[in-house]
Amino acid sequence: MALRTGATVATTIDELMEQTLARSDRTVQWAHPDRPVLCKFTNDQGRGLVVERPAFVTQLNNTLKAAARAIGVTVKVTAHDLRRGTAQDTARLATPTGIESAAAVLYHKPGSVASGVTQRYVGTIGPTDWEKRTELEDDQDFSLLPNGKRQKLDKPGGVASDITPALRSAAAVSTPISTTSPLRSRDLPPPLRLLTGASRAFS
């Protein structure tokens, strides 16, 4: 979508990959860094975009519901599941330092890591077959409750997720939307900046 809306300096996927790999920080360069990461739709069908305006929370929730229905997810999916899915995928990409990587994505402070909050987001880090995940053949247990509801974070040892691997993989580069201020590419933490391409450096 970023390429289609002219959000990147590159105009093709090959050019985008070449430019990104040539950079020491491996970041994609935004052509318009002040634009929202998720832009507003002009109507409920999403047939038009207002690239200068941020998406409303209701738009994200409606899009998630539609995506869930399209791939056969029958349990309730919320924007917070994107946060959980991002934490779980990030941790699996960076084992054995996965918890620290997930904490950076979640903006968790050391106290949250020490108290086990980050671990509850991540769950048990096991081997991941990424090819199977992209082919929808992943057999990982994401610990749904018997009634199909999401496990609460205060459940000891529970993996807080009710979202299938397919939707979680598609959502891995997403971040929660603030209801008080628009999320812009320059505001993303470093791990997500690598994936989404914010051009401004972070300390």
Q: 122 and 163: one domain? A: yes
Residue 46 has a pLDDT of 54
Q: 43 and 115: one domain? A: no
Helix (H, G, I), strand (E, B) or coil at 24: coil
Q: 201 and 137: one domain? A: no
Residue 115 has a pLDDT of 94
| 47 is a domain residue | yes
> What is the value of pTM for the model shown?
0.51
pLDDT digits (tens, 9 = 90+) for 184-195: 444 444 433 333
Residue 111 has a pLDDT of 94
Q: 167 and 149: one domain? A: yes
Residue 110 has a pLDDT of 93
Residue 113 has a pLDDT of 92
Q: Please confirm whether the linkage preceding 54 is cis (ω < 30° from 0).
A: no
Q: 97 and 162: one domain? A: yes
Nearest to 63 by CA among 189, 179, 181, 174: 174
| Residue 162 neighbours by CB under 8 Å, 6+ apart | 75, 76, 77, 81, 142, 144, 148, 149, 150, 151
Cα angle at 160 between 63 and 127, to 5 degrees? Answer: 100
| 73 is a domain residue | no
Structural domains counted in the chain: 2
β-strand partners of 54? 39
Q: 84 and 167: one domain? A: yes
Q: How far apart are CA 49 and CA 70, in angstroms?
A: 21
| 71 is a domain residue | no
Q: 122 and 166: one domain? A: yes
Q: 103 and 159: one domain? A: yes
Residue 153 lies in domain: 78-171
pLDDT digits (tens, 9 = 90+) for 140-168: 555 444 444 455 544 444 333 334 444 44
Digitized pLDDT (tens) for each residue of the chain, 203 residues in all: 788 888 888 889 899 889 988 888 778 888 998 998 888 888 766 568 888 999 888 888 888 888 888 988 877 888 888 888 888 888 887 666 788 888 988 999 999 999 999 988 888 777 677 677 666 666 655 544 444 445 554 444 433 333 444 444 444 443 333 333 444 444 444 433 333 333 333 32
Q: 36 and 51: one domain? A: yes
